[in-house]
Chain A
């Protein structure tokens, strides 16, 4: 117990870093994914190809590789990101690609009649997307987005590779130093807590959207 209290501060500070990366990635990648998904269903073919290529690139290569590429690779051509910014840059670009595909599915699930009905009521494209389409898409995509959000909590541990002190790294350091499994078990418990809270929040969001069918 004494040992746990001793290492807990460093683990919690690691968890703080994990949370920061988690939240900023969501704040960046959800809107970006939405914009990309509108491009994916647009009638402008070159735009579609471009975004499809982007999605293929981001989903087709390991996130770990992307992290290494941004932090260790890009400086070779003169683009230097500090560690933390490099991590966010890679995570946002990567997750936006997954979200774009999820939103595309949601957008395509909206019946064409909804667009036509908005059109004969003379709503503009922007008004239709904002007032008619997005509220319905959000409801459709919540479960799949939730899946990615849970994944993100754990994916954030990949930042150890560019030397960021997150939760996993904090546990790893303590285990290596003190030769005990306890820190790793605590790390697992903290991840489980994070996912439990996230799952609860997602359920609440889902509930909030259950007022209509």
Chain B
């Protein structure tokens, strides 16, 4: 038995020694390749909407409209007149009267440092004092024949006189660097680059149509997830299916508003038919936190 063990041990030692000396693994031959520079382009770089005006000329390197160096504040309507103080919403569109100047070219030329016209300033102050605009300040219409008519007679000219004839004004668009010319884009866009994806455009249109019910404590309960199926012409193929559920009245209002927005937004012609496979069945999240601005 001892001889057997000796033979076995010697044999094992020999095999181990042989394997240690000869059986060392050779490393795989790896040819070194040169590094490729890779730029990471995220999807949001393409899907963000550029800030600007819809009818502005397309610039090579678009920049957001900035008329005042301040903290960045986007502008609702770049075509409105710029004032220092506050924003005045016109009660109607400016009438095609000869005295109503088209304001497309004028306000963009001005910079925020230059004073706006004093008439608009005074008007804005008056507007702050009195809710009802004075008709004498604006333009005297044709003087009435009777100083005090006992029975008020409907006169369309008087109605025109009662209307606010001021141009709609806005605050100066603020930003870090001055740029007087708005670039091509949407007024509620946030990106500097002009690269509008189809789904983002769809989302932007729905965000304009969707009204978020005000007064919700928790905006998370207003998130509505809707699945829509679309035809090739951009119209709804079937009624939208609401995937999220909730019980609060605010959620139901938001849900109904979302469904209305989906119906009113038809046809979705921003979706190109050649990409029909991508958008024929879409899930859209109506979220007040990020869709409030599209």
- Do they bind each other? no
- State the B residues within 8 Å of A (CB): none
- State the A residues within 8 Å of B (CB): none
